[in-house]
């Protein structure tokens, strides 16, 4: 049981390049989340999903897109990376309705030059 | 809206010292409250939680009591160890139709020296 895994662990992009971050969970959780972590700002929610095929915007969605084609996977895309998107990205999952505990992946450190 | 405010860090302590990290919140209704911990190079892990007023969450020697009258959930430990060095996040879950979404504080860096 691997829990929540994220790919890749590190990435460096040039401004304007695109990339996709992959999050996978093997706990059969319904809900999944993408956060970014910046110094002094805690974690801010980018997008989330409450089930396969559904996604919704969080607190800071601009510049990102997401997809949840399979229940176990939640993809975060950057179509045209900007230096302001340099951050550490965390994926999390939770079992679903009436559950409040989230399980986090190890993070992806992204640098945009 | 909902918000969580943590004491500013970083906090530096000697081993066996007493730890307090303050956390206050703003929310409507009756939120659940959490402390998550992030060890260097890792993701966040749930440390403890409390789901109603006057509940005390505890784990690994850490404690926090849900105080509705002061809207606080301060984290305490009587004797810290070097292995407690980490970033600590206070968070709240408002419940209802929030789809599990958490609101986090800004995090407090704790460094414990031998």
Task: Express each pLDDT in B8-34 by its tens digit.
Answer: 789 999 999 999 999 999 998 889 999
Residues of chain A in contact with residue B36, where contact means CB-CB under 8 angstroms, are 104
Q: Are strands B3-6 and A87-94 parallel, antiparallel or unpaired?
A: unpaired
Q: What is the average pLDDT score of chain B?
A: 92
DSSP state string for B90-102: EEEE--TTSTT--
Q: Report the largest interatomic distance among the alpha carbons of chain A, rounded to a whole angstrom.
A: 41
What is the Cα–Cα distance from B3 to B21, expressed in whole angstroms? 17
Which residues between 14 and 53 in chain B have a beta carbon less than 8 angstroms from any beta carbon of chain A?
A: 32, 34, 36, 41-46, 49, 51
Closest by CA position to B21, among listed B58, B72, B74: B74
Task: Express each pLDDT in A47-64 by its tens digit.
Answer: 999 999 999 999 999 999
Mind telling me how many Å the CA of A16 is from chain B's nearest CA? Answer: 28
The residue of chain B with its CA nearest to that of A57 is B101
Question: Residue for token digits 């879950």?
Answer: B93
Residue in B36, B100, B106 closest to A100 by CB: B100
Mind telling me how many Å the CA of B101 is from chain A's nearest CA? Answer: 8
Q: Quick check: A75 and A83 in contact, CB under 8 A?
A: no
What is the Cα–Cα distance from B105 to B90, expressed in whole angstroms? 5
Q: Tell me what the mean pLDDT of segment B92-112 comes to.
A: 86
Structural tokens at position B101: 């979404």
Mind telling me how many Å the CA of A42 is from chain B's nearest CA? Answer: 4
Q: Do A107 and B42 touch (CB under 8 A)?
A: yes
Q: Is the pLDDT assigned to residue B97 strictly greater than 80?
A: no
Mean pLDDT per block of 10 residues along chain A (113 residues) reads 91 96 96 92 92 93 96 96 96 83 93 96
What is the Cα–Cα distance from B11 to B32, expressed in whole angstroms? 25
DSSP B79: S
Residue A98: its pLDDT value, please? 66
Sheet strands (E) in B7-74: 11-14, 19-21, 23-26, 32-38, 44-50, 56-59, 62-65
- Report the alpha-carbon angle B2-B52-B19, nearest 5: 80
- Please give the interface size between A and B, counted as residue pairs whose CB atoms are below 8 Å apart: 59
Q: What is the average pLDDT score of chain A?
A: 93
Residue B30: its pLDDT value, please? 84
């Amino acid at each position: 049981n691997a829990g929540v895994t994220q790919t890749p662990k590190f990435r460096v992009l040039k401004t304007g390049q695109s990339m996709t971050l992959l999050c996978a969970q093997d706990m059969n959780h319904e809900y999944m989340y993408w956060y970014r972590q910046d110094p002094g700002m805690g974690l801010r929610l980018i997008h989330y999903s409450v089930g396969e095929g559904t996604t919704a915007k969080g607190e800071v969605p601009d510049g990102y897109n997401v997809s949840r084609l399979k229940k176990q996977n939640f993809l975060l895309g950057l179509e045209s990376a900007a230096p302001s998107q340099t951050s550490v990205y965390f994926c999390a999952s939770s079992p679903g309705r009436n559950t409040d505990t989230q399980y986090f992946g190890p993070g992806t450190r992204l640098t945009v030059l | 809206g909902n918000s969580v405010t943590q004491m500013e860090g970083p906090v530096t302590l000697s081993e066996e010292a007493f730890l307090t990290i303050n956390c206050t919140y703003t929310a409507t209704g009756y939120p659940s409250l959490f402390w998550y911990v992030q060890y260097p190079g890792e993701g966040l892990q749930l440390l403890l939680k409390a789901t109603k007023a006057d509940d005390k969450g505890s784990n690994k020697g850490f404690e926090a009591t849900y105080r509705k009258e002061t809207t606080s959930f301060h984290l305490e430990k009587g004797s810290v160890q070097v292995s407690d060095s980490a970033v600590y996040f206070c968070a709240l879950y408002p419940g209802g139709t929030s789809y599990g979404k958490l609101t986090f504080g800004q995090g407090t860096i704790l460094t414990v020296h031998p």
